[in-house]
Each structure stands twice: as C-alpha cells, then as structure tokens.
Amino acid sequence: MSYYERYHPLEEIYEWINKTTHDHSDMVKVILIGSSYEKRPLYVLKLSGKGGTQPKRAMWIDCGIHAREWISQAFCLWFVQYSVEYYNHIPDITEILDNMDVYVLPVMNPDGYKYTWTTKRMWRKNRSRQPGSYCVGTDLNRNFDANWCTVGSSNRACDDTYCGQFPESEPESEAVANFLRSHKETMKLYLSIHSYSQMLLFPYSYTYEEADNHEELNELAKEAAMNIRRHYRSFYKFGAGAKTIYLAPGGSDDWAYNLGIKYSFTFELQDKGRYGFLLPPELIPNACNEALTAVKTIALGVIKKT
C-alpha cells in the first residue's frame, strides 16, 4: 500500500511538504501564506510546468477547510504526487501545468486536523477561542465575506456552523483571502475540496439566485460528473450550492467568485453516507481518482475559455 493510500497525521504532512519540495525543486515551490490560530504554518505548494506562454494563468485548490473530512487532505497529496509523477508523461496534466500555475493548500485548517487525530475525530471547525464563550472554533467555510452570517450559518460559538466574530476573523480564512486577492489578476479557477456526498457545486450557495455564468459553470460540472461516471461508475450530483445541497453563506467558493474568479467550485468527495467522514483508506484511490478526473476536466475547460 503506497503512502498516498493512507491518511497521515499533520506532522507527517509537514514532512511530506518538505520532502516533495526538495525532491521536485524544478516543479514545486513552497509558499508560506500565514499561520493558523495556534500558530501552525499554512503552506501552499506552487506547481509549475516549463511550457506555455507567459504571464501564466493560475488555479487554486484548497483541502481540509473542515478538519474531519480526511479524504480532502488526502486528495491534495494525491494531486501533487500525480502532477510531479505524470507531468510530461500524460497529456492532460502536462497541458494543465504548461498553461497554469497550480497553487495547492493541502491543510487549510491544521489545528482542527490535528485535533481530529488526537482528541475528537468528528471535529469540523478551527480551534480559535471565542470571547465570552467556553465553546471553541469557527467554521472557516462560513467565515468569508459573502453574505456573511445570514441564514444557513450560526452566530452561536457552540454551533458547528459558527460564522465567527466578523468576516475573515480567523487567521486561516484571512490568509487564503489575502493570497487570492493578491493573485486575482491571474487566478482563473478556484477549487475547494470537501466531503462527503459526491457533489460538484458552484456559486451561489448564499442565495438561490443564479450566478452570471451559471450555464457555463453547469456545463463544466456536468462534463466532470459525466467523466467520473464513465471512468469509475460513481454518481456525482452537480449544480448551484444553494439548490443542490443547502443555503450556506460565508463560503470560500462564493467569496472567490465575487472577487472575480469566475470559475469557482466546491467538490464533495466520497462517499454518499455509508462511511461518511470515516471513509476507509481502501477507498482513497477511487475517491481521489474521481476527484482528479473532475479537476482535470474543469481545468482543461477553463484553459480553453480563458
């Protein structure tokens, strides 16, 4: 069983980041974009190919906004490994990396992830302390400035969908927002990886209104879902977040979309509830290959359009 077919505790992922950037220094650079509430580093890996035209377009993938969704963090590792192994060997990933720099944040919520390994496997939020409450943690996917803290999130610190004290109150969401703001000219595609329920979602989630390019987003998601079905016989739903899953404001995807990144998606990976967040490691390869199919389909589609 390979390294990528297992889940790894936070310390191992930091070691993996180190080793991967050293072993593939021609393709992979590490960027420190900030630190978590408990002062752990937030590292982004920048993957670049050698071909293509300058200035390069870019895309972003974050994993592990929610601590307990372990297949998400596992996917970011899987994706980076696939990129360094198959760049210049497989046409689709070569085309992607020749035309876009790919920024990958493998663990957006390191404090929460650590906590799911040591103390409480089903923890979702980060680990920030809240004034006047003994409850801990903000839902980072309710903490972005997109109709923040309205229906579909909670203003009570003890709830799992607590929106935080104000938009970007959390160092993790602020770091990501700052990075995306400073790269918004080149950033063409935003992807956020979650689990579970097998869905490919796009804006909006904070309103039932349709995004300007709803049709285009729907076509890309449909093509990705069709490819997953063809290759892996798994069924992924797709559609705007509010109508497909539920109304949920303050999400990173809606915020990135409103910033001007017109191709913005949240993927909910396997499964559909049999194991839920506790997806057994034997299912990692299939889950990651499905997600990879969707990432490649959408990235190639965006390259054609932009």
Shortest Å, Cβ 73 to ligand 0X9:
13
Please report whether residue 125 would count as binding Zn ion according to CB under 5 A.
no
Q: How many residues bind ligand 0X9 (CB under 6 A)?
A: 14
Closer by beta carbon to ligand 0X9, 177 or else 300? 177
Q: For residues 238-277, which are near ligand 0X9 according to CB under 6 A?
A: 241, 245, 248, 251, 253-254, 266, 268
Q: For residues 147-166, which are near ligand 0X9 according to CB under 6 A?
A: none
Place of tokens 């990651």: 288
Draw the binding track, 36-75, toward ligand 0X9 (x: CB under 6 A; -: no contact). ------------------------------x--x------
Task: Indicate which single residue of 141, 234, 258, 264 sits in contact with ligand 0X9 (rule: CB under 6 A).
Answer: 141
Shortest Å, Cβ 196 to Zn ion:
9
Closer by beta carbon to Zn ion, 70 or else 82? 70
Draw the binding track, 42-81, toward Zn ion (x: CB under 5 A; -: no contact). ------------------------x--x------------
Q: Are 249 and 205 in contact (CB under 8 A)?
A: yes
Q: Is 268 a catalytic residue?
A: yes
Peptide bond into 204 cis (omega under 30): yes
Shortest Å, Cβ 268 to ligand 0X9:
6
DSSP for the chain reads: --GGGS---HHHHHHHHHHHHHHTTTTEEEEEEEE-TT--EEEEEEE--S-S-SSPEEEEEEE-SSTT-HHHHHHHHHHHHHHHHHTTTSHHHHHHHHHEEEEEES-S-HHHHHHHHHT-TT--S---B-TT-S-B---GGG-SSSSTTSBTBBS-TTSTTB--SSTT-SHHHHHHHHHHHHTTTTEEEEEEEEESS-EEEES-SS-SSPPTTHHHHHHHHHHHHHHHHHHH----EEEEHHHHT----S-HHHHHHHHT--EEEEEEES-SSSSTT---GGGHHHHHHHHHHHHHHHHHHHHHH-
Cα–Cα dist 28/261, whole Å: 23
Contacts of 81 (CB under 8 A, 6+ apart): 4, 20
Closer by beta carbon to Zn ion, 93 or else 256? 256
* Residue of 69, 172, 268, 290 marked active site: 268
**Partner from Zn ion, ligand 0X9, none binding residue 251, C-beta < 5-8 Å depending on class:** ligand 0X9
Please report whether residue 194 would count as binding Zn ion according to CB under 5 A.
yes
Closer by beta carbon to ligand 0X9, 99 or else 141? 141
**Partner from Zn ion, ligand 0X9, none binding residue 201, C-beta < 5-8 Å depending on class:** ligand 0X9
Please report whether residue 125 would count as binding ligand 0X9 according to CB under 6 A.
no
Instruction: Name the site residues for ligand 0X9 (rule: CB under 6 A).
Output: 66, 69, 141, 194, 201, 205, 241, 245, 248, 251, 253-254, 266, 268
Catalytic amino acids? 268
Instruction: Name the site residues for Zn ion (rule: CB under 5 A).
Output: 66, 69, 194
